[in-house]
A and B are shown apart, each in its own frame.
Chain A
Amino acid sequence: MDNIDFKLNNLPRKKLPRRVDWAIKSKLYFLMLQKKLALFSRQENFSPALLRPMMAAIIILLSVIIVPAYAYANDNITRGNWLYPVKRAVENIEMNLPASLPRQVATYEKMAARRLSEAEFLAAQNGLAQPDEIETAINDAVGLKAKAAAKSKEAENQKASDRVADIINESTERQAEKLAKIALHVGINSNEELVDTIAIALDDVKTKKQDFKFVNNFPKADEVLIATTSDSGLEFIEDTTGKQTATSVQSRPVHDPVSSSSNRNEKFRKATSTAKIITRDEAEEAISGVKRSIDSLKDSLSVESFPEQDVRKLIDRLNNKLDRSYQAMELNDFDKLNGLLNSTWALTNNAKHFMKKNETNGDTANPFNQEQDNNREGEKNNSGRSNRK
């Protein structure tokens, strides 16, 4: 390896994002104003006659500039906070500004990320936040992502399509990380609907990344797009002469928490999400598939160091969903069955995100003090990252 010194002196440098810079500066100016007001009130030669016009000016300044800026920049201003309507109003202005297609898509993705940040903040409140507040934030994020995907279809050429694909895929990776963090904060023992919402959102985010790439393999004018996925992991484009071209779908293991679904999962997913189960045979096949997957998950969890009670709770939940699926099948309630299998599948795929592994020895994250490393064993992480705000 040559020129190590040169390479070390040219390591990547980061630039603080403008949004964060603006947020920090807003807070600093707010603190400076607070300090100034405190000083004014203590001055002996302070004339009370000046107070009213000064306060009026400050109130106008606060309400028109600083408060909206502060509200906009804070992830911990969530539904229920009096500033939340101000925050959403500023966001709506941003979303409605005239902009190019990539900019519009980026804005939708940015808003989705902001909803997830709010959800993360709420999830980190150790049960103080209502589950439906977290659910609403996540569902809002999913809705915004859907808008971004819909908007992306307006791309007029391959270049534009590639550009919006890059924007969406980059955002999707970060959003999957955020959802994983939310899952960990919420935990497997939380409200079932909330757990399902997070699991489905995780699955949705991971699947859309693959689907999105496929949709943007622009078929030519004389070709027809066939969105089929076989067990061999191939997808097909058929032209007007009937000639088919195959491209492979990336194959991943079922229970890799950072991957999207495997080919077998993909076939099942088509059955539940795009082509719903409508016959008993399909239902039996789908339920068998889910049961196999749950068994496989049990095996994989048994060799990993997750807390026993969390694993037990997870498996109980999955089995309960399976039982309800059988009942729905018996009653020919295929709508309910589809919903149950979708949530069961999502939870199976993303189970590991909801559980924290048992702590191991030899944590070397602290570079300064080995004693602090040792003392950290046994300490529990009770507060999330965003709690610090």
Chain B
Amino acid sequence: MEAKDRDYIANYDKYKDKIYTYFWYRVNFNNDIAEDLTAEVFLKAYKNFEDFDPSRSFQAWIYAIAHNHLVNHYRTANREIDLERAAVIAVDETKDLDAKFEIERIMTTIKCLDSYCREVLELRFIDQLSNSEIADLLGKDEGAIRTQISRAMQILKDKLKE
């Protein structure tokens, strides 16, 4: 196997769960759709891997592809996220009984925020991207992202106190 192909497989193994989680939180926690999207992203990325600049972060690249793919999915699938169902299914994933209620509240509240706040919080805490990576993905300034995350956290805390 060529070195480049080996690198791709290694990166695939490293990021497959992250990309799957990325989609899973954004497609109404639907396992089947998230699996399909994950497969499509990695296959699409491989087909364009010749054009990938090795000096660039693979993570940033694959997340950008995933983001664009998700936009296309929303456009063609024309789906809405069911707020209640989203929170309920997220709860199933937690084992600790005390955490369940808390996470349900947090997830429901995040989903109720405006799209920008929701997205930066999801990229920060679900996808665990750094501020610079989020800025790169959304095409914004890193300082603006840092401010937005603080603002979104404050809004989230205020809503949770209500």
Contacts and interface: CB of A to CB of B under 8 A. Distances in A.
B75 interface: yes
Contacts of B67: 368
A1 B103 CA distance: 10
Interface stretch (A16-24, A56-64, A233-241, A288-296): A16-24
A219 B124 CA distance: 52
A15 B20 contact: yes
Contacts of A159: none
Interface residues of B, number: 60
B21 interface: yes
Interface in A5-26: 5, 7-17, 20-21, 23-25
A367 B118 contact: yes
B42 A366 contact: no
Contact of B20 (A11, A14, A364, A365): A14
Contact of A7 (B74, B103, B119, B153): B103
A367 B138 CA distance: 11
A381 B73 CA distance: 10
Contact of A31 (B34, B43, B81, B138): B43
Interface residues of A, number: 48
B106 to A, nearest CB: 6
A386 B36 CA distance: 7
Nearest to B90: A12
A45 B23 CA distance: 46
Interface string B49-91: 0000000000000000001000100111111110000000010
A32 interface: yes
B130 interface: no
Interface of A: 1, 4-5, 7-17, 20-21, 23-25, 27-28, 31-32, 36, 117, 174, 177-178, 359, 363-370, 372, 375-376, 379-381, 383, 385-386, 388-389
